[in-house]
Amino acid sequence: MGKKVIYIAGLGLIGGSLALGIKRGHPDYTVLGYNRSDKSRIIALERGLVDEATDDFAAFAPLADIIILAVPIKQTIVFLKTLSQLDLKDNVIITDAGSTKLEIVAAAEKYLMDKSVQFVGSHPMAGSHKSGAVAADGHLFENAYYIFTPSKLTKKSTIATLKDLLSGLQARFIEIEAAEHDRVTSQVSHFPHILSASLMEQAGEYAGEHDMTNRFAAGGFRDMTRIAESEPGMWTSILLTNKEAVLERISDFKQRLDRVAQLLSQDDEEAIWNYFAQARQTRKEMEIHKRGGVESFFDIFVDVPDEEDVILEILELLRGTSLVNIHINEENREDISGILQISFKNAKDLDHARKVITDNTDYNVFIE
């Protein structure tokens, strides 16, 4: 493929990280950027995320072979409309990065149908609570799912071209219908954010009357409420653009809560036991201990004593390995053997880790 001009609108966490990944895979491509604020534009130029940057969205669009809209969902829809009024390159590919897909795909079909453009929705499924070009990370999408949601403007070659463009991200590409994307993410992402925020709201009020609440809130509560720290603006637009699916999940969940309340008020011990046993079994089968449900990480669990420098001792043994994550399980849980959980990128390093830790320490080592 010849040299291409890529235009990324929105040089925030996602746009900036995509730019780095594109440059890694295709150092010869020209990457142009749009950002409305000076700050991220200047950082993007300084960090070499883009070759040139503008604060006028329409300025670079006609130069591009591929346009990526990495702005909030509502603004993505505004820019799709703007693009319909611009003189773009023939057969230009347009995509986005929005966390919900149905409204964006519908807007692209509405505004761009009469133009010679290709459009496919995109959702790179990785992120963090950070934002802006300063947070851009070329490794953000490694092993993450990168979802394409085709539209009436998607050709056979559209997704293939984008996969090639984005090869440097080392993501896992997958295609799914936009409506199904929004339904599945309502269950595993959008609704859990509501639950987490509600739990936080409830506990916050409770703490006003019971001052030990904050002190007793331990690992389980922290796990359940971590995502309540997410950026409110992004989550507001996610809910508003996936209203139907989220409302349906809320209504389903209310019935489940009512059922547990009923079992409890009836002192139905067996049914309550079964309820927990079923949830535990389902969680084990879902393999969600692994990052993003992706079986690309290889975990080792080490039972270490609570002593000074013990973690440093283990890390020293693991020098030179592809260690990607380290987690200290603060609570003893029945379903996890070992306090220290270390993740590697490949099975070879996992085997090596098991051997060096077993040979050099007395700690018990487990592999799930």
Residue ranges that bind ligand NAD, judged by CB under 6 A: 10-15, 35-37, 40, 70-73, 75, 97-99, 124, 127, 131-132, 234
Burial class (CB in 10 A: 0-12, 13-18, 19+), 144: buried
Other CB atoms within 10 A of residue 38 CB: 10
CB of 134 to ligand NAD, least distance (A): 9
CB of 167 to ligand NAD, least distance (A): 19
Identify residue 268 by its one-letter amino acid code: D
CB of 37 to ligand NAD, least distance (A): 5
Nearer to ligand NAD, 31 or 71 (CB): 71
Nearer to ligand NAD, 71 or 169 (CB): 71
Q: What is the distance between the alpha carbons of residues 281 and 263, in angstroms, rounded to a whole number?
A: 20
Helix (H, G, I), strand (E, B) or coil at 282: helix
CB of 35 to ligand NAD, least distance (A): 5
CA distances from 23 to 98, 132, 208 (A): 21, 18, 51
Q: What is the distance between the alpha carbons of residues 151 and 172, in angstroms, rounded to a whole number?
A: 20
Other CB atoms within 10 A of residue 140 CB: 22
Helix (H, G, I), strand (E, B) or coil at 328: strand
Nearer to ligand NAD, 132 or 192 (CB): 132
CB of 81 to ligand NAD, least distance (A): 13
Nearer to ligand NAD, 38 or 295 (CB): 38
CB of 228 to ligand NAD, least distance (A): 15
Nearer to ligand NAD, 40 or 341 (CB): 40
Nearer to ligand NAD, 55 or 316 (CB): 55
CB of 117 to ligand NAD, least distance (A): 20
Nearer to ligand NAD, 130 or 355 (CB): 130
CB of 334 to ligand NAD, least distance (A): 32
Q: Give CB contacts under 8 A, 24+ apart, made by 55-58.
A: 57/9, 57/82, 58/82, 58/86
Nearer to ligand NAD, 95 or 321 (CB): 95
Q: What is the distance between the alpha carbons of residues 239 and 244, in angstroms, rounded to a whole number?
A: 9
Give every CB contact of residue 256 below 8 A, 6+ residues apart in sequence: none
CB of 30 to ligand NAD, least distance (A): 19
CB of 151 to ligand NAD, least distance (A): 17
Give every CB contact of residue 259 below 8 A, 6+ residues apart in sequence: none
Angle between helix 191-209 and helix 232-240 axes, rounded to 10 deg: 130
Nearer to ligand NAD, 26 or 181 (CB): 181
Residue listed under structure tokens 């409890």: 264
Other CB atoms within 10 A of residue 257 CB: 9
Nearer to ligand NAD, 50 or 339 (CB): 50
Contact in structure between 153 and 142 (CB atoms under 8 Å): no
Question: What is the CA angle 155-97-157, rounded to 5?
Answer: 15
Q: From edge to edge, which strands make up the β-sheet containing 172-175? A: 52-54, 30-34, 5-9, 66-69, 92-96, 117-124, 145-150, 172-175
